[in-house]
Structure 1
């Protein structure tokens, strides 16, 4: 299995969702992320990280609240924000930050 560092170092954009199973907003975001993946297909990787099961990773990336979304490409952080976003907002962010074409 590829390491977290290997995955975010991909030349394909990687949207990382730091979430918790007990988090209401995280549960609201999950189907939105599925819609984004359905819209963008193989142009993006969406990686979900459960902060309760990966506490050291969440700590390393200074995740203080969930959900926290971080967009990477070629190992570089392009964008980071906590909270819930609509499908349209996320698509626009990905277009602007990672030059994804829909």
Structure 2
């Protein structure tokens, strides 16, 4: 619980920083423009790609975490064994739930 409070406080500071920068630099482009103004185009390019990869990694993490949580809350039979990765069995039902969650949410 304490970790959620600390994380929430940190996110509030990030939101306030974006609000301040958005009012100070009213241009389209968000974080890319902020980094470009401060550090130049090369740093903005690297920063934008880093943010993109961060967003993609969150989607892949959630696609794996969602079936795990659903299986913990509602234990069901697994169907369609596909492969084993690092000691974890991957089933078709998990892939279906994870893909559906990533697509719809």
By relative contact order (CA 8 Å, sep 6+), the higher-ranking structure is 1
Give TM class, smaller chain.
under 0.3
Give the number of the structure whose residues are more often helix, by fraction: 2
Give the TM-score normalised by structure 1: 0.26
Give the number of the structure whose residues are more often strand, by fraction: 1
